[in-house]
Amino acid sequence: MVTYVSSSRTVRAALLVVVIALAGLVVPVGAPAAVAAAPPRPTVTATVSAGGRFLAGERLWVTGKVSGSSAGRSVRLQSSPDGASGWTTVSRTSTRAGGRFTLSVRPSKSGRLRVVASATGSSASATSRTVTVVRATGSRTLTKRASTLAGRVGDATSARRTLTRSQRSRTGVKNVRKVVHQRFEKGLLVEVTTSSSRRTWLVTGKILRRYLADGGPSGRWGVPTSDARCDLAERGCVQSFAKGTLYAAQGDRKASSSAARGRMGEVFAVARSQVGYKDRYPGVGPHTTKYNAWVGSDNAWCSIFLSWSGAAAGQAAIPVAKSYPSFVSKVRASMPTGSKPRPGALAFVSTRPPHSEANHVMLVTSVSADGRWLNVIHGNYGPGGGFRGVSEQKWSTANRVKFYGYPRY
């Protein structure tokens, strides 16, 4: 005989278990959510100095804050000059306490700037509104420049000083009529008046210390011809003067120099700043210098060092390549070559038998009057004792120089 009573009890018991189980899945009203809410998206504010108006050669500063951030967050200043179709990163830094930052750029033309804060483990990336920068024309007196720089240079610490006629003759500027300079807590302003213009330039930091040690406006380097450019690798700054170029990076003890001017002088000064760098020589490899790390290659680094020097000066005249053979190919494809030495040339030489072809490259910074001797800066050479490094030395043009490349600085 079949009994249905016990079966229905079993069903009721099973249903009760299901109801109890389902009851455990109900979230009471007001209970905390199982997944925490996403943190608010950060915002980036950006303000440009001098209202975004600049004269050719002047440096602008962009200051701001990344909300909800502390020190150490990476931020990038990006530029889109008039006529450009996209954005290019021109300067990088990290936030200070409270998410604040300061970046700088020396624009060449009007356009737009923006600041991008990189994503972190707990916060998304964010971009500021764009700010417009306008290249203006005209003059800039010391008084006006001090006003546009506001608190960036601090208070004046000296009276204004005017160079004498004799001192003006040593500034390196033709048709100079007046030079006035004044020290501030954080820099030196130099107003230069010629027959065609009046401009005021700012000198700061390690470059200023070297400049003053060498005599200031009437000394070895003459008057500035632009503000420093400080959006370079290793937080380097390079500045042009009437009689040469000065460069200093964050880790440098003092500014390095070159008597050459313009883009070529900037590359020279950067390369000279590396003289004395050395790394243990591993023979055929792998090579582990900072220049290798920069380019992403463990190959021999004489050419990589020159690529780095050009890039660290903000110049593209010297090609970037991950190996010496590739560098030679790019040199032959991108610039004239020949047999005559001249400043700025790349000298390709043979340093090992049978001396049938070049296996090493150097940067020529000067040539003797008789053409017999070069002054060169080169990497992956000497100083012995199991090390190779960056050296500056004299080199005979008769010492197996196979050919020269002539970068378009």
The 8 Å CB, 24+ separation contacts for 115-118 are: 115/44, 115/46, 115/62, 115/64, 115/75, 115/76, 115/77, 115/78, 116/44, 116/75, 116/76, 116/78, 117/42, 117/44, 117/66, 117/69, 117/73, 117/74, 117/75, 118/73, 118/74, 118/75, 118/76
pLDDT in the model for residue 221 = 98
pLDDT in the model for residue 93 = 95
pLDDT (tens digit, 9 = 90+) per residue, 219-252?
A: 999 999 999 999 899 999 999 999 999 999 998 9
pLDDT (tens digit, 9 = 90+) per residue, 283-325?
A: 888 999 999 999 999 999 999 999 999 999 999 999 999 999 9
The CA distance from 339 to 135, in Å, is 42
Q: Is the pLDDT score of 185 beyond 80?
A: yes
**Please, which pLDDT band fits residue 27 given cuts at 50, 70 and 90?**
very low
The CA distance from 116 to 45, in Å, is 10
Please, which residues have CB within 8 angstroms of residue 134's CB and are 6 or more apart in sequence?
52, 53, 54, 110
pLDDT in the model for residue 284 = 83
pLDDT in the model for residue 99 = 96
Structural domains in the chain plus CATH codes: 44-135 (2.60.40.10), 142-228 (no CATH), 278-405 (3.90.1720)
Q: Is the pLDDT score of 349 beyond 80?
A: yes
In order, the DSSP letters of 168-215 are HTTSS-TTEEEEEEEEETTEEEEEEEESS-EEEEEE-HHHHHHHHHTT
Q: Which two tokens stand for residue 289?
A: 């210098």
Helix (H, G, I), strand (E, B) or coil at 29: coil
pLDDT in the model for residue 15 = 37
* pTM value surpassing 0.95: no
**Please, which pLDDT band fits residue 30 given cuts at 50, 70 and 90?**
low
pLDDT (tens digit, 9 = 90+) per residue, 60-73?
A: 999 999 999 999 99
Q: Taking the CB of residue 319, how many other CB atoms lie within 10 A of it?
A: 21
Q: Is the pLDDT score of 262 beyond 70?
A: yes
Average pLDDT of the chain to the nearest whole number: 91
pLDDT in the model for residue 153 = 95
Q: What is the bridge-based pairing of β-strands 53-54 and 278-280? A: unpaired
pLDDT in the model for residue 122 = 82
Helix (H, G, I), strand (E, B) or coil at 75: strand
The CA distance from 388 to 137, in Å, is 49
pLDDT in the model for residue 16 = 37
Rounded percentage of the chain residues whose pLDDT exceeds 90? 84
Q: Is the pLDDT score of 38 beyond 90?
A: no
